[in-house]
Amino acid sequence: MLQCLKRRFEKHVQRHKGIAWADVQARLDGNPKALESLRRMEDSGGEPDVIGQDKATGRFTFCDCAAESPSGRRSPCCDQEALGVRNEHKPQGRAVEMAAAMGMQLLIEEQYRALQRLGEFDAKTSSWVSTPAQLRLQVLSRCCIQVPLSDSVEDWSDDAFWAELKRRLPTEVAGTQITGPSIEKRIAPLRSFVAEPMRWGNLFLAGDAAHIVPPTGARGLNSAASDIYYLYHAMLAHYQRGDASGLDGHSAKALARVWKAQRLSWWMTTVLHGFPDSIEYDQRLQQTELEDLFSSDAAQRSLAENYVGLPF
């Protein structure tokens, strides 16, 4: 095991600048528990390597450095609690418990970002990072009601908001709502915008700077992330290999996906929102769209495909 770790350590010096293998080995020699954890990481395809040292304690940090998550560790739930709330398509494993069984912990976001600066990892797979408990509170929800754009947030006290939400929900659902003080309130306009092309000379646009969708389809962050994914790889190709084709094609490639997100958001907005200037004909079409969605497998599949996010 030590030989395997040493070979990897020497092959990837950029991951642990200023750290000598002799010091790492000296600590590992007296720590069979740590060696056993590393063996488990290695056996499951993690390719552990040293990525840092705690200056105060002198302890070294090992982390999985496989380019992509090993096949046996893909698509788990976060932990038992997260698994418990999944009704269908329950994932097989739980990331927190898998790590604990190896004597390891999940990286926190800051560590994951630091790891990404040491090489190219996780470009095709995804990883769980340890999530702060306050971000995972199950009693928090985002609730939306449509209001005239002329309203302001001050017009909507928490009590007024909850009363209006309940009034618009079916009685049996309204009765189950648990309400509490809001932590944030805002009025988001239903607007759509695309800047085309997404490049001007050496200026590259991405995310909301290039395109806005109404919140109905929850596509904004997804589109911003895919823009950056394309741009990141295009920049790598340009700066590392002198290949400008990715940058030249960035706008067209990103826009092809952006327009699909726009279409979904526009469609969901027209189906799910009421508009003050709509005539009876519009309302009947809206009703028919919804009936088609509820009765057609093909329509539901198409919505699901677009809603979970198109591949990029």
Q: Give the binding site for ligand FAD (CB under 6 A).
A: 186, 188, 207-209, 215, 218-222, 224
User: Which residue lies nearest ligand FAD, judged by its C-beta?
Assistant: 207
- Phi first, then psi, for residue 61 (nearest 5°) are -105, 120
Which of 59, 93, 55, 89 is CA-nearest to residue 73?
93
How is residue 7 written in tokens? Answer: 């070979």
SS3 of 63, please? strand
Q: How many CB atoms lie within 10 A of CB 93?
A: 15
Separation of alpha carbons 273 and 195, rounded Å: 25
Q: What is the CA radius of gyration of the chain?
A: 25
- Report the residue number, 35 or 218, with the smaller CB distance to ligand FAD: 218
Separation of alpha carbons 184 and 182, rounded Å: 6
- Report the residue number, 13 or 188, with the smaller CB distance to ligand FAD: 188
- Report the residue number, 69 or 262, with the smaller CB distance to ligand FAD: 262
Strand (E) or helix (H) holding 126: none
Shortest CB 72 distance to ligand FAD, Å? 30
Shortest CB 294 distance to ligand FAD, Å? 23
Please state whether 94 falls in left (phi above 0), alpha (psi between -120 and 50) or beta.
beta
Shortest CB 42 distance to ligand FAD, Å? 37
Shortest CB 226 distance to ligand FAD, Å? 11
Q: Is the CB of residue 201 less than 8 Å from the CB of residue 194?
A: no
- Report the residue number, 209 or 290, with the smaller CB distance to ligand FAD: 209
Shortest CB 209 distance to ligand FAD, Å? 6
- Report the residue number, 222 or 269, with the smaller CB distance to ligand FAD: 222
Question: 32-43 vs 21-29: helix axis angle to the nearest 10?
Answer: 110
How is residue 152 written in tokens? Answer: 């302001």
State the Cα angle at 159 between 158 and 160, rounded to 5°.
Answer: 90
Question: 220-241 vs 245-272: helix axis angle to the nearest 10?
Answer: 180
How is residue 279 written in tokens? Answer: 């005539």
- Report the residue number, 172 or 184, with the smaller CB distance to ligand FAD: 184
Shortest CB 152 distance to ligand FAD, Å? 15
Q: Is the CB of residue 39 less than 8 Å from the CB of residue 1?
A: yes
Shortest CB 275 distance to ligand FAD, Å? 20
- Report the residue number, 188 or 290, with the smaller CB distance to ligand FAD: 188
- Report the residue number, 185 or 284, with the smaller CB distance to ligand FAD: 185
Separation of alpha carbons 307 and 284, rounded Å: 24
Shortest CB 192 distance to ligand FAD, Å? 12
